[in-house]
Amino acid sequence: MLKRSFLRHAAAWPLIAAAPRLLAANTEALATIRIGVATGGVGNPVRFGGSSAALLHAFGGLEEEFKADGTKIEWVFFKGAGPAVNEALVNKQLDLAWQGDLPSIVHRAGGVKTRIIAGSGVRNGLYLAVPPDSPVKRIEDLRGKRIALYKGTNLHLAAVRALAAHGLKESDVRLINLDLPGAQAALATRDIDGAFGYVELFVLRDKGAAKVIYSASEDSFKYTRQTVLLASDDFARSYPKATQRIVKSLVTVARRYSDESQRDEVFRQWGKAEVAEKYWREDFIGQPLRVRLSPLLDPFLVQRYKDSAEQALALKLVRGKAEIDNWFDRSFLDAALRELKLENYWPVYEANGEVSGKQVAVAR
d(CA 178, CA 148): 6
Same-domain pairing of 161 and 112: no
Q: Is the pLDDT of residue 33 over 80?
A: yes
Are residues 255 and 159 both part of a single domain? no
- 356 part of a folded domain: no
201 and 244: one domain?
no
Does residue 194 share a domain with residue 135? Answer: yes
39-42 CB contacts, 8 Å cutoff, 24+ apart = 39/77, 39/78, 39/79, 39/81, 39/274, 40/77, 40/78, 40/79, 40/81, 41/77, 41/273, 41/274, 42/273, 42/274
Which domain does 216 fall in, by range? Answer: 127-223
Mean pLDDT, rounded, for 178-188: 92
Answer yes or no: are the C-beta atoms of 95 and 164 closer than 8 Å: no
Domain CATH for 302: 3.40.190.10
Q: Residue 156 in 3-state DSSP?
A: helix
Q: Is residue 86 part of a domain?
A: yes
Are 230 and 213 contained in the same domain? no
Evaluate whether residue 286 is within a structural domain.
yes
Under the banding of pLDDT at 50, 70 and 90, the label for residue 332 is very high
Low-confidence winner among 11-20, 86-95, 169-178, 196-205 (lowest mean pLDDT)? 11-20
Going by pLDDT thresholds of 50, 70 and 90, the confidence category of residue 2 is very low
Q: Which pLDDT belongs to residue 149?
A: 94
pLDDT of residue 7: 36
Whether residue 182 lies inside any domain: the answer is: yes
| Residue 364 maps to a domain | no
What average pLDDT does the structure give for the chain? Answer: 90
Residue 73 and residue 198 in one domain: no
Same-domain status, 236 and 118: yes
Average pLDDT (330-344) is: 98
Alpha-carbon span 120 to 105, nearest angstrom: 16
Same-domain pairing of 16 and 72:
yes
Position 241 in a domain: yes
The pLDDT of residue 24 is: 40
Q: Which of 245, 309, 289, 303 is nearest to 51 (CA)?
A: 289
Same domain, yes or no: 189 and 268: no
- Specify the number of domains making up the chain: 2
Bridge partners, 72 (sequence order) = 32
pLDDT digits (tens, 9 = 90+) for 212-221: 999 998 888 8
pLDDT at residue 44, rounded to an integer: 87
Q: For residue range 41-69, what is the model confidence (pLDDT) as tens digits? A: 898 889 999 999 999 999 999 999 999 99
Give mean pLDDT, residues 314-323: 91
pLDDT at 361: 53
Q: Judge whether residue 4 has pLDDT over 90.
A: no
How far apart, in whole angstroms, are the C-alpha atoms of residue 198 and residue 283?
Answer: 9
Cis peptide before 45 (omega within 30 of 0): yes
Q: Quick one: 82 and 205 in the same domain?
A: no
Cα–Cα distance, 62 to 81 (Å, whole number) = 22
On the question of pLDDT at 191 being above 80, the answer is: yes
- Res. 5 pLDDT band, cuts 50 70 90: very low
Is residue 352 assigned to a domain?
no
| pTM tops 0.85, yes or no | yes
**Is residue 48 domain-resident?**
yes
Whether residues 259 and 206 fall in one domain: no
pLDDT digits (tens, 9 = 90+) for 105-163: 999 999 999 999 999 999 999 999 999 999 999 999 999 999 999 988 888 999 999 99
Which residues have CB under 8 Å from 7's CB, separation 6+? 87
Whole-number pLDDT of residue 9: 42
Residues 297 and 327 in one domain: yes
DSSP, res 22: P
